[in-house]
Amino acid sequence: MTTDAEQQWHVVQRWQEYASEGRANLLRVTAVASLYLVQLIHHLGFSDGTPAAAEFHRRATWIVAIWSFLVLGVLLCLRRRFFPPALKFVTTGADLVLLTLTAWVGGKSDSPLVYVYFVVLILAALRLNRALILFAVLGAMAGYEVLVGALDPVWFDAEHATPVVRNLVMLASLGLAGIMLGQIVCRVRTLAEEYQRRMSAAVSRPAESAAAPPASS
């Protein structure tokens, strides 16, 4: 692409990132509320009533409260048209840290919350930025490994609290998901370029027909 086309693409991408950050924030609060509702139902209806269960619910509530402040902070930034390029990395990093912290207090790598890492990857892809997807993938891998290490009392021994196969499958799945989401983002740009090319060709054809001299009899 030419320099002018690259500049125009950058402008379009920034506006789409701005709009997508708002959508991602809405999906963020929806995901957090849904997962907390699951925890609330479990706590009120299926919990064994042990002090450990009550402590997890208390900690999870505090983490959700912090997550809610993140949502409000992003909403305030977008309302004030404050959208630095680093904001999407900050919010994605916060999502990864808070998710890892919640899984830490709820079973570490055995927690079902580890599957929510894929939701964070999807939110990253929504911003149409491959660098952000890479950041999210590496952050999710690091977060999961922290949980694996926290569950295992002794590292690098023959006994693994988290089976090696499960660990590797999770890492491979995160990596493959990141690659696939990155390819979708690439196809979005290719689609836009092809659409622009075809529209330009469609506009130029009638103009060429009108300018052509009439055929001689």
Mean of per-residue pLDDT scores for the chain: 88
Q: What is the pLDDT of residue 200?
A: 80
| pLDDT at position 11 over 60 | yes
In this prediction, residue 2 carries a pLDDT of 60
How far is the C-alpha of 70 from the C-alpha of 75, rounded, in Å? 9
Helix pair 164-211, 3-41: axis angle to 10 deg: 140
Given a contact cutoff of 8 angstroms between Cβ atoms, the answer to whether 114 and 70 are in contact is no
CA 145 to chain centre: 18
User: Shortest CA distance to 120 belongs to which of 40, 188, 31?
Assistant: 31
Whole-prediction pTM value? 0.85
Residue 207 has a pLDDT of 56
Residue (of 1, 73, 67) closest to 39 by Cα position: 67
Q: Nearest CA to 111 among 60, 48, 176, 174?
A: 60
**CA 139 to CA 133: how far, in whole Å?**
10
